[in-house]
Chain A
Amino acid sequence: MVETSRHKHIKMIMQIFIYIFCIFLALMCVIPFIIMVVNGTRSTVEIQQQAVTLLPSVHIMDNIQYMSLGVFNAWIGFKNSMIVSVGATACAVYFSSLTAYALMAYDWRLRQPFFTFILAVMMIPAQVSAIGFYQFVFRIGLTNSLLPFIIPAIASPTIVFFMRQYLLATFSIDIVNSARIDGAKELYTFNRIVLPMMKPAMAMQAIFVFVSSWNNLFMPLVLLTDYNKFTMPVMVSQLRGNIYRTELGAIYLGLTLSVLPLFIVYFSLSRYIIAGVQLGGIKE
């Protein structure tokens, strides 16, 4: 009995330690957001004089008014960003899962070479080949189209790699085999039996793809020059105004606005991370 009470004691201290530690980390994660939101209520001069503060100011209406002067249109930005991010996420997650499944469930001659190839593609430094991509898009006339931001996501080597590693740890061919005996078609098996098993991994990757796709700035800046095709970050970049005067307050407000949808998506997908969806079907 003494033994267990001491254990409980240690456990308590451990718990307290964990909480303090987590709260500390959480604060560090949240403060930049607060600063960003607060700066959205401050004037350019206030931000110039002191960029980091937790005290809001009274200039939010001025910033909103400045936003409404130029081409900034949150609605168009949201719409285009949504199309791009949802499209890219769906393409990347579904087709990567499919490719990873092909790498795991079937025994084909080029399987190993293909996996090596995917890894190799993943390792190519992106900076330089970007210019080749721009040229290609310019030549096939897909500038001012949202397609170049969506379709190429079908070939996402990093996500294939993740899905494959995930399947490697969790997948068992028996389930597929039992489905086959039932006479299920292969794609049907994948969609109905394998995909649900991969939900936690898919939710994770969906969040990552969505966030990076949403925040992508440089490529849309170069390839989208028509106001009606601007994504949200490009819209925010238009808030800079005169060359020598940057409207910092409006930019922070724009940044805050552009992050809001990310929160919604993140929190709605995060239930898969929080709830701890256990994999069905693995139990033998």
Chain B
Amino acid sequence: MKHKNFSYAKYGYLFCLPFVLMFLTFSLYPLIFTTSIAFTDRAGPNVAGREYNILTTTVIDEAGNEIEETDLFGNFRLLLNNRGFRNSFGNTLIIWSINFAPQVLLALLLAAWFTNRRTSIKGQGFFKVIFYMPNIITAATIALLFRAMFLFPKGVVNDTMIQWGLMEAPKNFEVDPWASRLIIAFIQFWMWYGYTMLIFISGIMGINPEMYESADIDGANAFQQFFYITLPNLRTIMVYTLITSLIGGLNMFDIPRLYSLGGPDAKTQTSSLFIYGQAFEGTYRYNVASAASIMIFIIIACLSVIIFYLMRDKDAAKLKKIQKEYKKAQKLAQKAGDK
């Protein structure tokens, strides 16, 4: 058996084929449809379907003496000057930053506790299971319950605060922009810390236990083990968490919509809510919605590149190492074949 120049590369393509095929079948058309419409004048309730044959038309601008000019980026310019769009992006960043750091820190702390083999907390299995539960109920139910808690003039929170002497008169949380932002950030935090914790736990459990064993022999304490073994080895999973949380955060939709409908004073209106409103409500400015989606996509992509850059070294090193091993193995296999 001769294996000279045998390449496994074809399997790389082959194993990706199902993904690619399904993507092309179900996502490509919506994607092309959405993207192309951003450069058109398509708006109105029935536009999404009826005149689909001319997707590539562009906005015709009247400039001066009825000279028609194509204006490919008209929708994008409109958005840059749109206070509602800027405001919604600002809201998204604010609400996301409030909930993101506490969420990751708490998740990390819990993951560290629950994977620590020395303290071994009793009933940790129970806690792991319970903490993910807020993610099981639908967002609609959660929003409903939180609304019911913060009611004015009588509600669980108002009544309790007055009873404990923290407030003199009931507060109308619903008209207070910052109260609404904080509550939404809290709901997001509460819904997702369990999820993030599970991700971290699965990452930590993937770390080679021998590393901890030898650290034990060297007399490293729990803190040292966490900072010198767990954290560095969690980096790839951390990249995943940062990126997905960024994407999820900048696309935050359910809770702001169901809890406060973007109010009060549009102070909890997120980018996704703005985009949704453009596409599916009012004047159905589908083209504007599409342009806004593209802009949000570009922002997410830029921020992701930054995250990858900041966290890059380990990734790259690991990949290189695997590549090296791979080549070595190929040679080995060749040799084995030659025998």
When A and B assemble into the complex, do they touch directly, with CB atoms less than 8 Å apart? Answer: yes
A interface residues (Cβ-Cβ under 8 A, vs B): 11, 14-15, 18-19, 22, 25-26, 28-30, 32-33, 35-36, 51-52, 95-96, 98-99, 101-111, 114, 118-133, 135-136, 148, 151-152, 154-155, 158, 160-162, 165-166, 168-174, 177, 180-181, 186, 190, 200-201, 204, 207-208, 211, 215, 217, 233, 255, 259, 262-263, 266-267, 270, 273-279, 282-283
Q: Determine whether the beta carbon of A95 is less than 8 Å from that of B34.
A: no
Q: Determine whether the beta carbon of B48 is less than 8 Å from that of A131.
A: yes
Q: Determine whether the beta carbon of A273 is less than 8 Å from that of B113.
A: no
Residue among A22, A95, A103, A215 facing the most chain B CB atoms (10 A cut-off): A22
A26 proximity list for chain B (CB < 8 A): 126-127, 130-131
If A101-B15, A170-B207 touch, whether A127 touches B333 (CB-CB below 8 Å) is: no
Given contacts A126-B251, A207-B198, 10 further A-B contacts (CB under 8 A): A22-B121, A29-B130, A96-B19, A98-B15, A123-B247, A129-B34, A135-B33, A168-B318, A181-B332, A255-B141
Tell me, in angstroms, the Cα distance from A133 to B235 when the chains sit together.
Answer: 35
Tell me, in angstroms, the Cα distance from A85 to B199 when the chains sit together.
Answer: 21
Q: Determine whether the beta carbon of A129 is less than 8 Å from that of B19.
A: no
Tell me, in angstroms, the Cα distance from A75 to B216 when the chains sit together.
Answer: 54
B interface residues (Cβ-Cβ under 8 A, vs A): 8-16, 18-23, 25-27, 29-31, 33-34, 48-49, 52, 110, 113, 115, 119, 121, 124-138, 140-142, 144-145, 148-149, 156, 190, 194-195, 198-199, 201-203, 205-210, 233-237, 239-240, 243-244, 247, 251, 253, 271-272, 275-276, 279-280, 286, 289-290, 293, 296-297, 300-301, 304, 315, 318-319, 322-323, 325-326, 329, 332-333, 336
A259 proximity list for chain B (CB < 8 A): 136-137
If A106-B9, A126-B251, A136-B29 touch, whether A177 touches B16 (CB-CB below 8 Å) is: no
User: Is the contact region of chain A dominated by helix, strand, or loop, or is it mixed?
Assistant: helix
- Our pick among B198, B207, B329 for the contact of A273 (Cβ within 8 Å) is B198
Q: Determine whether the beta carbon of B16 is less than 8 Å from that of A168.
A: no
Tell me, in angstroms, the Cα distance from A219 to B211 when the chains sit together.
Answer: 46
Q: Determine whether the beta carbon of A15 is less than 8 Å from that of B119.
A: yes
User: Is the contact region of chain B dominated by helix, strand, or loop, or is it mixed?
Assistant: helix
Tell me, in angstroms, the Cα distance from A48 to B99 when the chains sit together.
Answer: 31
- Our pick among B8, B293, B300, B336 for the contact of A107 (Cβ within 8 Å) is B8
A93 to chain B, nearest CB (A): 13
Q: Determine whether the beta carbon of A128 is less than 8 Å from that of B293.
A: yes
- The 5 A-B pairs at the shortest CB distance, nearest first, are namely A132-B30, A274-B125, A106-B12, A108-B12, A102-B15
- Our pick among A107, A152, A168, A180 for the contact of B27 (Cβ within 8 Å) is A152
B33 proximity list for chain A (CB < 8 A): 129, 132, 135
B125 proximity list for chain A (CB < 8 A): 270, 273-275
Q: Determine whether the beta carbon of B301 is less than 8 Å from that of A32.
A: no
If A99-B15, A154-B18, A270-B129 touch, whether A32 touches B304 (CB-CB below 8 Å) is: no
